[in-house]
Amino acid sequence: MERTLVLIKPDGVRRNIIGEVISRIERKGLKIVALDLRTLDAETAKTHYEEHAARPFFESLVEFITGGPLVAMVVEGERAVEAFRALAGATDPVQAAPGTIRGDFALEVQQNIVHGSDSTYSADREIKLFFPDLA
Ligand code: CMP
């Protein structure tokens, strides 16, 4: 069974749509196998987003993602990486289709409500970073 790391980012927590996002994950048939509300430190945020380190928006992204509590989850199911990315919609919420999480709840590319691992390789790395004790 495949696993993916999902974050409900600080903008999603601030807007009180944790339940909405979790409900969509569960309705799809995916299973939440770990869940934690926490505020990231800068080091963890930089490690999580290391592939974007050279991007002009990196510093701002780290500031945003550490700026309040987020919900980190491990989500499991058939093709979980791809399944969650389909639920999330395109990174740019204006391009994201209505009916997707980003398409329904966001307008800005940085404050796009959720993160989902982009591959099974990234999922392994990100799950180890957020939930090192998970079997
Ligand atoms: P996420 O799927 O978590 O992966 C990287 C994040 O960087 C992305 O969602 C956005 O929050 C953010 N991001 C991507 N592109 C931009 C951009 N052009 N400007 C600001 N933030 C961005």
Structural domains of the chain, count: 1
**From the candidates 24, 46, 48, 115, which is the catalytic residue?**
115
Name beta bridge partners: 36. Answer: 72
**Which are the contacts of 41, defined by CB distance < 8 A and separation ≥ 6?**
66
**115 catalytically annotated:** yes
Residue 135 placed within a domain: no
pLDDT of residue 82: 98
Say how far apart CA 17 and CA 113 lie, in whole Å: 9
Which residue range forms the structural domain that includes residue 98?
Answer: 2-130
Best probe residue, ligand 1, of 110, 117, 126 (max atoms within 8 Å of C-beta)? 110
pLDDT of residue 105: 98
The predicted-structure confidence for 15-45, as pLDDT tens digits, reads as follows 999 999 999 999 999 999 999 999 999 999 9
User: What is the CATH number for 36?
Assistant: 3.30.70.141
